[in-house]
C-alpha cells in the first residue's frame, strides 16, 4: 500500500502528503515516549497530519480562514475531488498554520520543545470534543483511499 497522497497541480508540480507514514512515525514515537525513550526519535521534521478535522479546529481558533467562496462550497457539502486545488490548499495551509503556531510557541516560551505532531495530537481531539461548537464550520469532503 502506498503511504502518501500525491497531488498534481495545474502547473505540473507534484505535492505529496505522507499522512499515514507520519502517523506511523508519531505513534511509534508516542510508544517510545511512554517508555521514557522518546528522545531517540527526532520529531522536529514531522509536520501535522493533513486531515479534515484539524483544519476545522484551526478555523474555529482563528489560525486559518477560508474565503467566502470556499466556505460556501464546503457548507453546501461539495465533494472536492482528490487532488483538487482547494483540497491541496486546505491541507497545505493547515500544515503551514501549525508550523506558525509552533514557531510562535518557541518565541513565547524559550524552553518550549513542542512539535507539530504534538500540536496535531492536541487539535484533533479538541475538534472532536468541541464538534458542537464548531458545527457551523464545515469539514472538507474528499473521497479517496489515502485517508
d(CA 55, CA 23): 17
Asked if 106 contacts 36 with a C-beta cutoff of 8 angstroms, the reply is no
What are the φ/ψ torsions at residue 123 (nearest 5 degrees)? Answer: -70, -40
Asked if 1 contacts 24 with a C-beta cutoff of 8 angstroms, the reply is no
d(CA 142, CA 147): 9
d(CA 146, CA 5): 6
Residues serving a catalytic function are 51
d(CA 128, CA 43): 24
Amino acid at each position: 500500500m502506498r503511504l502518501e497522497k500525491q497531488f498534481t497541480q495545474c502547473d505540473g508540480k507534484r505535492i505529496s502528503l505522507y499522512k499515514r507514514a507520519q502517523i506511523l512515525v508519531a505513534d511509534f514515537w508516542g510508544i517510545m515516549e511512554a517508555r521514557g525513550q522518546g528522545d531517540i526519535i527526532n520529531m522536529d521534521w514531522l509536520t501535522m497530519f493533513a486531515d479534515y478535522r484539524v483544519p476545522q479546529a484551526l478555523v474555529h481558533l482563528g489560525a486559518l480562514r477560508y474565503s467566502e467562496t470556499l466556505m460556501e462550497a464546503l457548507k453546501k457539502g461539495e465533494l472536492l475531488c482528490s487532488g483538487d486545488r482547494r483540497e491541496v490548499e486546505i491541507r497545505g495551509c493547515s500544515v503551514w498554520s501549525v508550523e506558525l503556531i509552533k514557531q510562535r510557541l518557541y518565541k513565547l516560551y524559550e524552553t518550549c520543545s513542542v512539535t507539530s505532531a504534538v500540536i496535531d495530537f492536541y487539535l484533533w481531539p479538541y475538534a472532536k470534543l468541541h464538534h458542537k461548537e464548531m458545527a457551523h464550520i464545515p469539514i472538507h469532503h474528499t473521497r479517496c483511499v489515502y485517508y
